[in-house]
């Protein structure tokens, strides 16, 4: 797994794995997760739907966490693996979802920009 070896060597960048359902994308990620965790690096594994739901809970009155809290929590993770990217686009506010995913994965002002699959 070239990405895993490069990641562990400190060559950090995002990776996007694309393919039809059932082709082994999550399985490949599981191998990377296992190897990275064995080196003592923290890993977060969520579907994009789960992650976006976490942000939505911050908008409720009296929410225990704010958006900033969740961004801070994610930033502490050594490697973030988002599964089922694209499935979150079904129904609802697609612009909000796209904006949040951009902030999570691409906007270095909020998070790391090199450690997401």
Residues 27-79 have pLDDT tens digits of 999 999 999 999 999 999 998 889 999 999 999 999 999 998 998 888 888 89
Calpha distance 117→106 (Å, rounded):
12
Which range, of 4-8, 11-15, 28-32, 50-54, averages the lowest pLDDT? 11-15
pLDDT for 60 equals 93
Res. 113 pLDDT band, cuts 50 70 90: very low
Residues 19-37 have pLDDT tens digits of 888 999 999 999 999 999 9
Res. 109 pLDDT band, cuts 50 70 90: very low
pLDDT for 116 equals 57
Calpha distance 76→80 (Å, rounded):
10
Calpha distance 101→107 (Å, rounded):
9
Contact present, 8 and 39 (Cβ < 8 Å):
yes
Whether residue 16 has pLDDT greater than 90 = no
Residues 74-94 have pLDDT tens digits of 888 889 898 887 766 666 667
pLDDT for 95 equals 82
Q: How far is CA 34 from CA 3, 39, 85, 104, in A?
A: 13, 9, 21, 23
Calpha distance 31→8 (Å, rounded):
13
CB atoms within 10 A of CB 102: 11
Query: Domain map of the chain by residue range?
Result: 2-105
């Amino acid at each position: 797994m070239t990405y895993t070896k490069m990641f562990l060597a400190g060559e950090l960048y995002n990776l996007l794995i694309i393919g039809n359902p059932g082709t082994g994308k999550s399985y490949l990620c599981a191998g990377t997760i296992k190897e990275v965790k064995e080196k003592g690096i923290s890993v977060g594994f969520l579907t994009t739907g789960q992650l976006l739901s976490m942000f939505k809970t911050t908008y409720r009155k009296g929410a225990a966490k704010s958006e900033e809290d969740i961004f801070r929590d994610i930033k502490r993770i050594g490697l973030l693996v988002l599964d089922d990217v694209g499935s979150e686009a079904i129904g609802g506010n697609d612009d909000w979802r796209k904006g949040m995913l951009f902030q999570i994965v691409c906007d270095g002002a909020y998070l790391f920009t090199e450690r997401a699959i």
